[in-house]
Copies of this chain bind each other. A is one copy, B any other.
Amino acid sequence: MKKVAVILSGCGVYDGSEIYESVLTLLSIEENGATYQCMAPNIEQMHVVNHLSGEPSEGESRNVLIESARLARGEVIDLATASAADYDALIIPGGFGAAKNLSNFAIEGSNSQVNPDVVAFTQAIHKAGKPVGLMCIAPAMTPLLFGQDINFTIGNDPETAGAIEAMGGTHNSCGVDEIVTDQELKVITTPAYMLAGSISEASSGIRKLVEQVIRMA
């Protein structure tokens, strides 16, 4: 049975992993006959956002690994301890956590960097010839992770796409129910909640991404 690593970035769209994307990913992995292991870096979140008001919650701090455990029913491991050899593929759901915790793209844009644990694990998976799927804003990390030749999508927002392309790679406009596959680099991306207006819309593209990742694994 193929085993997919899933990197989470907290729990909640505004400061962590987008919950719907993450859960639909896990469901789809099982529905495609594979299994998964969630993992996350053991670092503090960039900040905590009150998801009712949309405002940062001043004076509050939360840990990415602990909040990711909340999303994953406690079944999460420290990304620093994960070995790429144990997995056949990797998927990184979106949410602002991908741009605030896994990287600092939300703040630094074209000058952003990716967390060292994320770089090490993802590049180990990639160098072993295994596919990597990224959704929503997570593809903002693709030029830094996979190099200048990467083809990716974050939907159709020209400003965000331009900020990513300034780091390298080529953005491809893509509908919410479609995926972009870089066949050479084995990297699959889909817009998910960069475009989705509903959970069933998000589901359509996520299912295609997971199916493609597992097919290429």
Contacts and interface: CB of A to CB of B under 8 A. Distances in A.
A23 B199 contact: yes
Given A11-B70, A70-B11, A200 B27 contact: yes
Say how many copies of this protein the assembly contains. Answer: 2
Interface in A105-163: none
Interface stretch (A71-79, A173-181, A209-217): A71-79
A52 B65 contact: yes
A66 B50 CA distance: 7
Contact of A51 (B26, B74, B200): B74
Contact of A73 (B20, B66, B67): B20
Interface string A176-217: 000000000000000001000011100100000000000000
A140 B26 CA distance: 28
